[in-house]
């Protein structure tokens, strides 16, 4: 497991993805609050949000082009 006080990149990414979907387990949430750094989750959350917005924008643009 990760060293005390620091989560691996993959663990942070998985936790943020689970939070986006609303399926975070209690055990992982507890781990995040005890070992995680808020900065890591904030940065990853902003990146996930940006990617989500870009995907939605791309899908809407594609549908609009197909409708013309």
Residue-wise pLDDT for 1-37, tens only, equals 545 668 999 999 999 999 999 999 999 999 999 999 9
The answer, yes or no, to whether residue 40 has pLDDT greater than 90, is: yes
Question: For the residues 56-68, what does the mean pLDDT come to?
Answer: 96
The answer, yes or no, to whether residue 68 has pLDDT greater than 90, is: no
Give the Cα separation of 41 and 23 in Å (integer): 16
Please state the φ and ψ torsions of residue 7, each to the nearest 5 degrees.
-95, 150
Nearest Cα to 37, choosing from 10, 7, 14? 7
Decide which of 37 and 68 is more confident: 37
* pLDDT score recorded for residue 2: 47
Half-sphere exposure for 14 (CA within 13 Å, toward CB)? 11
* pLDDT score recorded for residue 43: 97
């Amino acid at each position: 497991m990760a060293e005390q006080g620091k989560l691996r990149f993959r663990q942070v990414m998985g936790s943020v993805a689970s939070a986006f979907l609303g399926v975070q387990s209690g055990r992982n949430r507890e781990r995040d609050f005890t070992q995680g750094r808020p900065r890591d989750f904030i940065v990853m959350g902003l990146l996930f949000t940006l990617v989500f917005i870009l995907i939605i924008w791309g899908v809407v643009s594609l549908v609009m082009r197909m409708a013309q």
